[in-house]
């Protein structure tokens, strides 16, 4: 009978030990679940950032392609305009003479400006009140 009581006490002790170990493992499992949740949120955040950056890259690529098309069209228009001007110059002596003539002094002065060391110098020059030519005078053009 003593043996049976000792065996029963040993079984209770083992059951208590196992319960204590299971409690510790449950706590570790909960902690592991929290870590997994944190890591999953970090991965999801990273994936969202990657997707956003991919979308931005695709948008920029489409915009770049659009700008390239516009640049090509602008270049084509400029070439067509140059060809048209050259054709007009070749077929009309009066137009050739006008094109080759020197601009009036007032217009030439409008295209001239001094060298500027800074933006402030440029602003001072702009507000300096540079006189424009009198438009009431007729020019050769």
Q: pLDDT tens digits, residue range 48-100? A: 999 999 999 999 999 999 999 999 999 999 999 999 988 988 888 888 888 88
Torsion region of 86: left, alpha or beta (phi above 0 gives left; psi -120 to 50 gives alpha): alpha
pLDDT of residue 38: 94
> Mapping DSSP to helix (H, G, I), strand (E, B) and coil, where does residue 74 land?
helix
Mean pLDDT of the chain: 86
Q: Residues 96, 89: contact at Cβ < 8 Å?
A: yes
Q: What percent of the chain has pLDDT over 90?
A: 39
Which residue would you say has higher pLDDT here, 59 or 4? Answer: 59
Question: Residue 137: how many CA atoms within 13 Å on its side-chain side?
Answer: 9
pLDDT of residue 108: 77
């Amino acid at each position: 009978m003593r043996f049976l009581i000792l065996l029963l006490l040993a079984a209770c002790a083992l059951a208590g030990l196992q319960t204590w170990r299971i409690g510790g493992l449950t706590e570790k499992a909960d902690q592991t679940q929290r870590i997994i949740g944190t890591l999953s949120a970090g991965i999801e955040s990273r994936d969202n950032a990657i997707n956003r950056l991919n979308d931005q890259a695709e948008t920029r690529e489409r915009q770049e392609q659009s700008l390239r098309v516009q640049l090509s069209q602008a270049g084509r228009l400029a070439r067509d305009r140059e060809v048209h001007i050259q054709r007009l110059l070749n077929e009309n002596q009066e137009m050739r003479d006008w094109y080759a003539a020197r601009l009036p002094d007032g217009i030439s002065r409008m295209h001239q400006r001094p060298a500027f060391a800074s933006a402030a110098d440029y602003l001072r020059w702009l507000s300096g009140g540079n006189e424009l030519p009198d438009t009431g005078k007729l020019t050769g053009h």
